[in-house]
């Protein structure tokens, strides 16, 4: 019977959440706690989420609006990824104090560095407000009432299941967040873009911050009088390590998944959208990389921009490969056919396809604008031009202008071109020549009317697209009409699941709200006969070490440590050799936004920091494959060793609770 059911349902994207698929709302985690405990979890649903007592949620933060962080001391000490703190680290870096290259280690709290516009948010509570809104209360009214409850409160009403449910998320926001420590990029970004999304991985992707509050422990703007925040809860740090098969749980803010999109959308992503964006970003990355190789100052200046562009660029490549390998488009088609047969609602699918066909030119042009014309500055401030580095940057900025105009002109074939650009190309002979003209104005005469007209024209097209789609957010390639249809479709999927006794199988798409995912430490079969073990060690770093390559040139102190084997309490015996664990794989379902999320063991102790997925996992935003989808975490023992033995900041460990 089991074999028959697997045959019947294995091709269905809507099959029950199997293995370790799913991103679950913490306030509803009691519905999953039985499965979690069966897989080894030792705590309760209240330990994960509670509004009446301190729980794990009180140790997790939304970091800088797009990552996750976790509290590891009673004095506001926070861990997240190096790449999440990258902008902050870069902002403090100069040729004289190159914290990107050499790392940063505050020797006292007086040396911790404040950061403009960097904040963290703690979830105060989440609650369903579907009935309140159905009764006529608006989202704005609900938000205003919630924010009035406390100092520094920020609230949002978020949709689940395409609007079938509405939840209020109330946060407490702290705006004084200071940089405490960051390893050299050759540790924190070891392997650079070459190793990004790749396993085996040896990246010590962590950085350390501290949350500060006013004397009343409430949010406050930066002040020398502020004191370390005293959290309701912080994570105990486990030094026991992990082994294959161990339970793991991830608690964080996944950004966006697209589990329930139409088959037509999957085809668009794999055949049109991703390939277009990959090609354009390849050109941008080549231009920036050439500049970085030419001058150390430019390497620092463009570091964060290059990393940001490259991250999605490589992810999309893996996504296309995964979608094609799994045959996701064909699976979706079969699921839709079975849905129509089982529910009798073929009409909703027909209407979805019609609306997607209508909206596709607007999606495409919006994405093209985002990758080209909307990336440009259209003017440089006088103080920016006074910076001696600006003269060195000009050839690169000009090349980026030329590439953006060229790609837009070559690829804008679904909507009428912007008249001002057509006229400019006609006058100057080519998109690149017109770009040179506009760049000259942006540098020398940014208030020129021609610049203003072009910006207005680009903005007008963008506004027209938003108007035609009826929504500013294009999350999951939607429109106002598609949202209505998706709500009907997804509700039909849920009723179908309930009829087939698969209740609770469907989790809401990620939308940068706090979620729980769980699984186990596990390797996977990368290719026929090639099994990837779930743990890497310091020996692998030494094997990759190459002083001639920036991203692989590790600090001499790390080489010396490996040679001496003086690891102290951080060393372990693996395969008959003394070494230090660096990274591990697990089966937790993650996506962007989960960067920096705590990886917890069965006792709720911190064992790692999530920072990536394997390249063959990047299609998990659309289809999760339990056989190969793996998240990558830096082992907390490596983090502690680097802080202690490389950074000489062992005092930070003294304020942690180590077990």
Q: What is the pLDDT of residues 49-93, one digit of tens each?
A: 999 999 999 999 999 999 999 999 999 999 999 999 999 999 999
The packing angle between helices 346-371 and 480-499, to 10°, is: 130
**3-state SS record for 545-604:** CCCCCHHHCCCHHHHHHHHHCCCHHHCEEECCEEECEEEEEECCCCCCCCCCCEEECCCC
pLDDT at 503: 58
Residue pLDDT, tens place only, 524-563: 998 888 999 999 999 999 999 999 988 899 999 999 999 9
**3-state SS record for 365-390:** HHHHHHHCHHHCCCCCCHHHHHCHHH
Of 369, 365, 364, 363, give the one whose Cα is nearest residue 470. 363
Pairing assessment for the beta strands 631-635 and 606-613 based on DSSP bridges = antiparallel
pLDDT at 504: 61
**Which of these ranges, 186-195, 471-480, 591-600, has the smallest mean pLDDT?**
471-480
- Our CA angle for 46, 49, 50, nearest 5°, is 70
pLDDT at 318: 93
pLDDT higher than 50, residue 9: no
Burial of 322 per CB tally in 10 Å (0-12, 13-18, 19+): buried
Measured CA distances, 146 to 57, 133, 175 (Å): 18, 14, 19
pLDDT at 382: 93
Active-site hit among 20, 175, 195, 205: 205
* Confidence tier at 501 by pLDDT (50, 70, 90): confident
Structural element, H or E, at residue 306: helix 303-326
Residue pLDDT, tens place only, 238-292: 999 999 999 999 999 999 999 999 999 999 999 999 999 999 999 999 999 999 9
Are 48 and 41 within 8 A, CB to CB?
A: no
- What is the chain's mean pLDDT, rounded? 94
Are 134 and 156 within 8 A, CB to CB?
A: no
C-alpha–C-alpha distance, residues 608 and 647, integer Å? 19
C-alpha–C-alpha distance, residues 339 and 64, integer Å? 40
Residue pLDDT, tens place only, 395-430: 999 999 999 999 999 999 999 989 999 999 999 999
pLDDT higher than 80, residue 17: no
Main-chain dihedrals φ then ψ at residue 68, nearest 5 degrees:
-120, 150
Residue pLDDT, tens place only, 104-126: 999 999 999 999 999 999 999 99
Contacts of 452 (CB under 8 A, 6+ apart): none
- CB environment 222-243: b (16+ within 10 A), e (fewer): eeeebbbbebebbbbbbeebbe
Active-site hit among 50, 93, 273, 595: 595
Percentage of residues of the chain with pLDDT beyond 70: 97
pLDDT at 378: 92
pLDDT at 551: 86
SS3 320: helix
**Phi-psi bin for 34: left (phi > 0), alpha (psi -120 to 50), beta?**
alpha
Are 241 and 581 within 8 A, CB to CB?
A: yes
Residue pLDDT, tens place only, 168-214: 999 999 999 999 999 999 999 999 888 999 999 999 999 999 999 99
**3-state SS record for 17-44:** CCCCCCCECHHHHHHCHHHHHHCCCCCC
pLDDT higher than 70, residue 12: no
pLDDT higher than 80, residue 19: no
Residue pLDDT, tens place only, 322-348: 999 999 999 999 999 999 999 999 999
205 is catalytic: yes
C-alpha–C-alpha distance, residues 516 and 32, integer Å? 10
pLDDT higher than 50, residue 439: yes
Please give the distance of CA 129 from its chain centroid, rounded to a whole number. Answer: 27
* Confidence tier at 20 by pLDDT (50, 70, 90): confident
- Answer with the residue of higher pLDDT: 501 or 585: 585
Percentage of residues of the chain with pLDDT beyond 90: 90
To the nearest 10°, the Cα dihedral for 96, 102, 106, 111? 10
pLDDT at 475: 75
SS3 532: strand
Measured CA distances, 300 to 89, 101, 308, 489, 556 (Å): 10, 9, 14, 48, 21
DSSP 424: H
């Amino acid at each position: 019977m089991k074999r028959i059911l697997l045959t019947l349902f294995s091709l269905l994207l809507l099959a029950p959440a199997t293995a370790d698929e799913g991103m679950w709302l913490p306030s509803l985690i009691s519905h999953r706690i039985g499965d979690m405990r069966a897989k080894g979890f030792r705590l309760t649903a209240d330990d994960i989420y509670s509004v009446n007592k301190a729980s794990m949620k009180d140790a997790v933060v939304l970091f800088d609006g797009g990552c996750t962080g976790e509290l590891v001391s009673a004095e506001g000490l926070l861990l997240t990824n190096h790449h999440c703190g990258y902008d902050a680290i870069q902002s403090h870096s100069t040729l004289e104090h190159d914290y990107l290259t050499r790392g940063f280690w505050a020797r006292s709290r007086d040396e911790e560095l404040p950061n403009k516009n960097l904040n963290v948010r703690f979830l105060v509570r989440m609650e369903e407000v579907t009935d309140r809104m159905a009764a006529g209360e608006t989202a704005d009214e609900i938000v205003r009432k919630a924010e009035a409850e406390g100092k520094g409160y920020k609230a949002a009403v978020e949709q689940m299941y395409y609007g079938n449910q509405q939840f209020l998320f109330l946060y407490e926001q702290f705006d004084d967040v200071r940089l405490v420590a960051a390893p050299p990029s050759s540790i924190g970004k070891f392997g650079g873009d070459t190793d990004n999304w790749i396993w085996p991985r040896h990246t010590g992707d962590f950085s350390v911050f501290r949350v500060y509050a006013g004397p009343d422990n409430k949010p406050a703007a930066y002040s020398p009088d502020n004191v370390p925040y005293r959290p309701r809860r912080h994570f105990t740090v486990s030094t026991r390590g992990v082994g294959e098969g161990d339970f793991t749980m991830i608690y964080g803010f996944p950004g966006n998944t697209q589990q329930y999109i139409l088959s037509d959308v999957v085809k668009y992503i794999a055949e049109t959208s991703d390939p277009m964006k990959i090609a354009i970003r390849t050109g941008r990355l080549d231009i920036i990389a050439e500049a970085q190789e030419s001058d150390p100052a430019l390497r620092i200046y463009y570091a964060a921009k290059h990393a940001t562009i490259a991250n999605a660029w490589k992810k999309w490549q893996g996504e296309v490969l995964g979608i094609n390998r799994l045959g996701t488009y064909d699976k979706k088609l079969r699921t839709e056919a079975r849905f129509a047969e089982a529910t009798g609602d073929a009409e909703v699918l027909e209407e979805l396809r019609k609306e997607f066909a209508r909206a596709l030119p607007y999606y495409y042009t919006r994405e093209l604008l985002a990758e080209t014309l909307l990336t440009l500055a259209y003017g440089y401030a006088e103080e920016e031009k006074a910076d001696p580095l600006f003269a060195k940057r000009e050839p690169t900025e000009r090349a980026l202008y030329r590439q953006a105009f060229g790609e837009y002109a070559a690829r804008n074939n679904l909507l009428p071109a912007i008249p001002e650009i057509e006229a400019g190309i006609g006058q100057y002979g080519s998109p690149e020549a017109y770009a040179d003209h506009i760049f000259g104005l942006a540098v020398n005469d940014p208030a020129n009317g021609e610049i203003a007209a072009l910006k207005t024209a680009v903005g007008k097209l963008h506004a027209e697209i938003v108007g035609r789609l009826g929504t500013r957010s294009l999350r999951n390639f939607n429109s106002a009409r598609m949202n209505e249809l998706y709500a009907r479709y997804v509700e039909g999927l849920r009723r179908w699941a309930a009829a087939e006794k698969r209740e609770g199988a469907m989790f809401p798409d990620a939308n940068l709200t706090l979620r729980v995912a769980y699984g186990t430490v596990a390797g996977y079969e990368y290719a026929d006969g090639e099994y990837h073990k779930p743990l890497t060690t310091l020996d692998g770093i030494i094997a990759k070490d190459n002083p001639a390559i920036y991203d692989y040139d590790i600090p001499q102190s790390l080489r010396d440590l490996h040679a001496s084997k003086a690891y102290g309490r951080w060393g372990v015996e693996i395969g008959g050799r003394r070494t230090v664990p660096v990274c591990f794989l697990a089966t937790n379902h993650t996506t962007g936004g989960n960067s920096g999320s705590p990886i917890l063991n069965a006792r709720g102790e911190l064992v790692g920091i999530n920072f990536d997925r394997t390249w063959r996992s990047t299609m998990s935003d659309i289809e999760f494959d339990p056989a190969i989808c793996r998240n990558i975490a830096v082992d907390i023992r490596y983090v502690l060793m680097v802080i202690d033995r490389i950074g000489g900041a062992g005092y930070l460990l003294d304020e942690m609770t180590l077990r």
